[in-house]
C-alpha cells in the first residue's frame, strides 16, 4: 500500500497548500527540515521550539502535517501527540527521535502517529514520509467532504419529501414500501387508523387501490406512468378526486431501484384555490387555476434548496418563475445569475459558465471567473438547457453531482454553493429517448419540475395581463393610456397566441405606440387580429351547418365535447355555436371534467 502511494505524485497546487508544522528544540534541525520541505514546494512551513509554542500554533491554525521530535525540554513529543488527538485534530503526526526504543515507538503508534523517523534523518526519507502522509490526509479530507455532501444532499431530499403536499410513496422492486412523506402517512392514518406504514404497497388498504396497478406497471416496464385521475368515495366523505402518477426510482447513473408514486388531492387543491385565489406572485400575473398551481409550487419549492426544471412553450414566463423561486428562497439577497444557453456560441459557452485562466486559449488575455462562480451563494438560472452540446451536458452533470468545477486551463478544482434552476421549451424526455440528451442529467435537473401552461389554456388571465402591460408601456412612453375597448379585448381573447405572453406583450407595446388617445382600440391592433371576425364567421357558418346535421347526444357533456372537436378546440367559437357565454363554457368544461389535453385541439 505504501509503495503504491509513494508512486502517486503530488501536484504543485497541493504542495503549495500543505500547511506543515516542525517542532524541535534544535535550531539546526528545524531550519534543515524547513529548507528541505520548502525547496520541494511544500508550504507554508511553520516551526516551533517547544511543546507550549507548538500547542499555541496548533490551537490557532489548521495543519496538514506535524513533524515533531520526541525528546524535548519539558513536555515530550509524545505529550504533544496525545494533546493533538485530544483536540480532535486529524492531521498525520510524524515522530522523530535520536534515541529510538521499543517503548516510545509503541506509545507513538498507540496514539496514532503516522510514522516514526530515527535521527539522523535523511532528506529522501523525510520527503518520502511527508509525501505519503500528506497524500493520505488529502484522501481522508476528500472522503469526509464526499460524506458531508452526501448527507447534505440527503437532507435536501428529505426536506423536499416532507414539505410536498402531495402523497408521495417510494417502493422497491419487490413492492415493499421504502418510505412515505407526512401527507401520505396522514391519509393512511385517517382512513386506516393504527395501520403501520410498512409492508407491500398493494397490501395496504387505500394505497393498494390508488397505487397498486401503477406500481406494477412501472416495475414491469421501468417506464413512467402518465398522470391520470381517480375518484374515491370514502365513507362519510364526498367523492375525492386524485391525480395519480408513477415514475422509476433511479440512481444518478440510471440504476433502477423501484418506483416513486405520487397522488394529489385535487378536490382539496381546488377548494383551497377558491378560498385563496390570487392575481399574481412577484412578477407573475394571472388568476387562472393553472397559475394558482404554479404559485403554490413556487412558494413550496422556492424555500427548499434543490434543483428545479421549468418547462413550457416559448414566451410562457419561465424566466419570471426562476426569479420568483429565487425571491422565495433563503438566497434572495445573493446574486441571481442568468445564462441563455442559446445566445452564447457553443465554443464560448464553456468559458462563459466555468470561467477560464489567462492564456488558456487564443484570445484569453485575462482571467475570467465565469457565471457559476459569480452565482456563488445565490442562484444560477440556465435557460434553454435542452440546446447544449453533449460535452457541456457531461460537464454540467459533473458540476451538479460534485458542486465543484475546473475553469478552462486550470487544474485546481473550485467549489461553490449554488442553487441551479434550469428551463427549456423542448421535450427533454423525448430527447432522452432519441439519445440527444443525457438521461442522468435529465433526472438530476428534474428533482422538482414546474410546468408552465400556454396562454391559450389561461384565457381568463388575458384582461389582467393586458392591464399590466398598458400600465407599463403608458408610463414608459409617457402617454395617458388607461384602458382598452371591449372590441379590442375581445379580439385579443380570440387569438390563439402561439407566442404566448411574450407575443401579447409585444402586441400591447405596439398598440400603445400607435394609440393617440386614452383607450386602445381595434385600429391599434395588428391587421390579422382586426380581421379575425371575418375569417371566423365563415368557419362558424360551416360549423353551425355541421351542428344541425350531427347526431348530438342528449348528454350535455357530450354535446360540449363534440362542439369543441368541431371547432378544433376554439372555445370562443364553441360557445357561440352552443349559444352560451364563454365563461359558462369554461364552467361546464370543469363541471363535466372535460380533459382538453387528451384531444388534438388547437386552442
Task: Tell me which of 246 and 490 has the higher pLDDT.
Answer: 246
Q: Which of 28, 92, 76, 83 is nearest to 57 (CA)?
A: 83
Answer yes or no: are the C-beta atoms of 286 and 279 closer than 8 Å.
Answer: yes
Grid cell listed for 227: 398522470
Calculate mean pLDDT across residues 73-79: 81
* CA trace torsion 186, 191, 197, 202 (10° rounding): -130
| Confidence grade of residue 140 (pLDDT, cut at 50, 70, 90) | confident
Give the mean model confidence (pLDDT) for residues 101-110: 68
> If you average pLDDT over residues 371-392, what whole number do you get?
86
Continuous H helices in 355-389: 370-374
**Mean pLDDT, rounded, for 199-226:** 85
- Note whether 321 and 259 are same-domain residues: no
The answer on 366 and 295 residing in a single domain is yes
pLDDT of 251 = 78
Residue 497 has pLDDT above 50, yes or no: yes
Write out pLDDT tens, residues 350-378: 778 887 676 566 666 677 788 888 888 89
- Residue 232, CB-side half-sphere exposure with 13 Å CA sphere: 21
* CATH code of residue 437: 3.40.50.300
What's the DSSP call for residue 18? B
Tell me, what CATH number does 470's domain have?
A: 1.10.8.60
Is the pLDDT higher at 533 or at 408?
408
pLDDT tens readout for residues 243-267:
888 888 887 777 888 998 888 877 6
At 505, which helix (H) or strand (E)? helix 500-514
Same domain, 25 and 108: yes
Q: Is 385 contained in some domain? A: yes
Asked if residue 76 and residue 176 are part of one domain, the reply reads no
Same domain flag for 366 and 483: no
- Contact between 259 and 215 under an 8 Å Cβ cutoff? The reply is yes
Taking only Cα atoms into account, the Rg of the chain, rounded to an integer number of angstroms, comes to 33
Mean pLDDT of 265-279: 59
- pLDDT score at 359: 55
Number of independent structural domains in the chain = 5
**Together in a domain, 380 and 487:** no
| Last residue within a domain, chosen from 433, 453, 473 | 453
Residue 196's domain comprises 164-275
Domain end marker among 425, 453, 481: 453
Q: Are residues 353 and 440 in the same domain?
A: yes
Q: What is the pLDDT of residue 267?
A: 67
| pLDDT, greater one: 422 or 12 | 422
pLDDT the model gives residue 538: 41
Is the confidence at residue 109, as pLDDT, over 80? no
520-556 residue pLDDT tens: 888 888 888 877 654 444 444 444 444 443 334 446 7
Kind of pairing between the strands at 115-118 and 414-415: unpaired
* Same domain, yes or no: 256 and 316: no
Is 156 part of a structural domain of the chain? no
What's the rounded mean pLDDT across residues 571-581? 70
Q: Are residues 343 and 361 in the same domain?
A: yes
Distance from C-alpha of 550 to C-alpha of 544, rounded to nearest angstrom: 10
Q: How confident is the model at residue 1 (pLDDT cuts 50, 70, 90)?
A: very low
Contact yes or no for 385/424 (Cβ under 8 A): yes
Expressed in percent and rounded to 5, the helix, strand and coil fractions of the chain are 50, 20, 30
Least confident among 52-56, 125-129, 188-192: 188-192
**Same domain, residue pair 110 and 219:** no
Q: Which of 392, 410, 425, 288 is nearest to 356 (CA)?
A: 410
Average pLDDT over residues 171-192: 84
Q: Which three cell numbers stand for residue 478?
A: 409617457
| Confidence (pLDDT) at 266 | 73
Is the pLDDT confidence value at 396 over 70? yes
End position of a domain, from candidates 257, 275, 293: 275
Residue 157 lies in a domain: no
Question: Is 7 a residue whose pLDDT tops 70?
Answer: no
Q: Does 243 reside within a domain? A: yes
Query: Based on the domain organization, do 269 and 295 belong to the same domain?
Result: no
> 581: Cβ–Cβ under 8 A, 6 or more apart, which residues?
575
pLDDT value for 8: 42
Q: Nearest to residue 569, comparing CAs of 590, 595, 551?
A: 595
β-partners of residue 233 are 239
Domain-embedded: residue 153 = no
**Which of 120-134, 295-309, 453-467, 561-575 shows the lowest mean pLDDT across its residues?**
561-575
355 sits in the region (left: phi over 0; alpha: psi -120 to 50; else beta) called left
Residue 253 sits in a domain whose CATH number is 3.30.450.20
For residue 173, the 8-state DSSP code is T
Sequence-distant contacts of 365-372: CB under 8 A, at least 24 apart: 368/407, 369/407, 370/407, 371/337, 371/339, 372/337, 372/399, 372/405, 372/416, 372/418
Q: Phi and psi at residue 247, in whole multiples of 5°?
A: -145, 155
Whole-structure pTM over 0.75, yes or no? no
Is residue 154 in some structural domain?
no
Higher-confidence residue of 76 and 472: namely 472
CB atoms within 10 A of CB 55: 18
CA distance 182 to 162: 6
CB 407 within 8 A of CB 415: no
Question: Within this chain, do residues 435 and 302 fall inside the same structural domain, yes or no?
Answer: yes
Mean confidence (pLDDT) of the chain: 79
Residue 425 has pLDDT above 80, yes or no: yes
Amino acid at each position: 500500500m505504501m509503495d503504491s502511494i509513494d508512486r502517486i505524485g503530488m501536484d504543485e497546487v497541493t504542495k503549495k497548500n500543505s500547511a506543515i508544522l516542525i517542532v524541535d528544540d534544535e535550531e539546526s534541525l528545524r531550519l534543515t527540515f524547513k529548507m528541505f520541505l520548502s525547496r520541494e514546494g511544500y508550504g507554508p512551513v511553520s516551526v516551533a521550539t517547544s511543546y507550549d509554542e507548538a500547542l499555541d500554533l496548533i490551537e490557532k491554525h489548521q495543519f496538514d502535517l506535524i513533524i515533531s521530535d520526541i525528546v524535548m525540554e519539558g513536555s515530550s513529543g509524545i505529550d504533544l501527540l496525545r494533546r493533538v488527538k485530544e483536540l480532535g485534530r486529524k492531521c498525520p503526526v510524524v515522530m522523530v527521535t535520536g534515541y529510538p526504543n521499543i517503548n516510545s515507538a509503541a506509545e507513538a503508534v498507540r496514539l496514532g502517529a503516522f510514522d516514526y523517523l530515527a535521527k539522523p534523518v535523511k532528506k529522501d526519507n523525510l520527503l518520502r514520509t511527508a509525501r505519503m502522509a500528506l497524500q493520505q490526509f488529502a484522501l481522508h479530507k476528500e472522503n469526509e467532504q464526499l460524506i458531508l455532501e452526501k448527507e447534505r444532499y440527503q437532507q435536501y431530499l428529505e426536506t423536499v419529501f416532507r414539505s410536498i403536499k402531495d402523497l408521495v410513496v417510494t417502493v422497491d422492486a419487490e413492492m415493499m414500501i421504502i418510505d412515505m412523506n407526512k401527507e401520505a402517512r396522514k391519509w393512511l392514518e385517517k382512513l386506516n387508523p393504527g395501520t403501520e406504514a410498512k409492508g407491500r404497497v398493494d397490501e395496504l388498504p387505500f394505497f393498494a387501490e390508488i397505487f397498486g396497478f401503477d406500481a406494477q406497471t412501472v416495475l414491469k416496464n421501468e417506464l413512467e406512468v402518465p398522470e391520470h385521475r381517480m375518484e374515491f368515495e370514502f365513507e362519510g366523505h364526498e367523492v375525492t378526486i386524485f391525480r395519480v402518477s408513477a415514475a422509476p426510482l433511479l440512481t444518478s447513473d440510471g440504476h433502477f431501484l423501484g418506483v416513486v408514486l405520487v397522488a394529489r388531492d385535487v378536490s382539496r387543491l381546488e377548494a383551497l384555490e377558491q378560498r385563496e385565489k390570487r392575481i399574481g406572485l412577484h412578477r407573475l400575473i394571472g388568476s387562472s387555476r393553472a397559475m394558482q398551481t404554479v404559485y403554490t409550487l413556487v412558494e413550496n419549492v422556492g424555500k427548499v434548496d434543490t434543483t428545479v426544471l421549468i418547462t413550457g412553450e416559448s414566451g410562457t414566463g419561465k424566466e419570471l418563475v426562476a426569479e420568483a423561486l429565487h425571491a422565495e428562497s433563503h438566497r434572495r439577497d445573493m446574486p441571481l445569475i442568468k445564462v441563455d444557453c442559446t445566445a452564447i456560441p457553443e465554443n464560448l459557452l464553456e468559458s462563459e459558465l466555468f470561467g477560464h485562466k489567462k492564456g488558456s486559449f487564443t484570445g484569453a488575455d485575462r482571467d475570467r471567473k465565469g457565471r457559476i462562480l459569480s452565482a456563488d451563494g445565490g442562484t444560477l438560472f440556465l435557460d434553454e438547457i435542452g440546446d447544449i452540446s453533449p460535452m457541456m451536458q457531461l460537464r454540467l452533470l459533473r458540476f451538479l453531482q460534485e458542486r465543484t468545477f475546473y475553469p478552462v486551463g486550470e487544474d485546481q478544482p473550485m467549489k461553490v454553493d449554488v442553487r441551479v434552476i434550469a428551463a427549456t421549451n423542448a421535450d427533454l424526455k423525448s430527447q432522452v429517448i432519441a439519445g440527444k440528451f443525457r438521461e442522468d442529467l435529465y433526472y438530476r435537473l428534474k428533482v422538482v419540475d414546474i410546468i408552465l401552461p400556454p396562454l391559450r389554456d389561461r384565457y381568463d388571465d388575458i384582461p389582467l395581463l393586458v392591464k399590466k402591460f398598458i400600465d407599463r408601456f403608458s408610463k414608459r412612453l409617457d402617454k395617458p393610456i388607461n384602458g382598452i375597448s371591449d372590441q379590442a379585448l375581445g379580439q385579443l381573447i380570440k387569438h390563439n397566441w402561439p407566442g404566448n405572453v411574450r407575443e401579447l406583450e409585444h402586441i400591447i407595446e405596439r398598440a400603445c405606440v400607435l394609440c393617440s388617445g386614452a383607450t386602445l382600440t381595434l385600429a391599434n391592433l395588428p391587421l390579422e387580429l382586426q380581421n379575425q371576425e371575418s375569417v371566423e364567421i365563415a368557419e362558424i357558418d360551416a360549423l353551425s351547418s355541421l351542428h344541425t346535421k350531427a347526431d348530438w347526444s342528449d348528454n350535455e357533456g357530450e354535446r360540449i365535447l363534440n362542439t369543441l372537436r368541431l371547432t378544433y378546440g376554439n372555445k370562443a367559437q364553441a360557445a357561440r355555436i352552443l349559444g352560451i357565454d364563454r365563461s359558462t363554457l369554461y364552467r361546464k368544461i370543469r363541471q363535466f371534467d372535460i380533459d382538453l389535453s387528451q384531444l388534438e385541439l388547437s386552442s
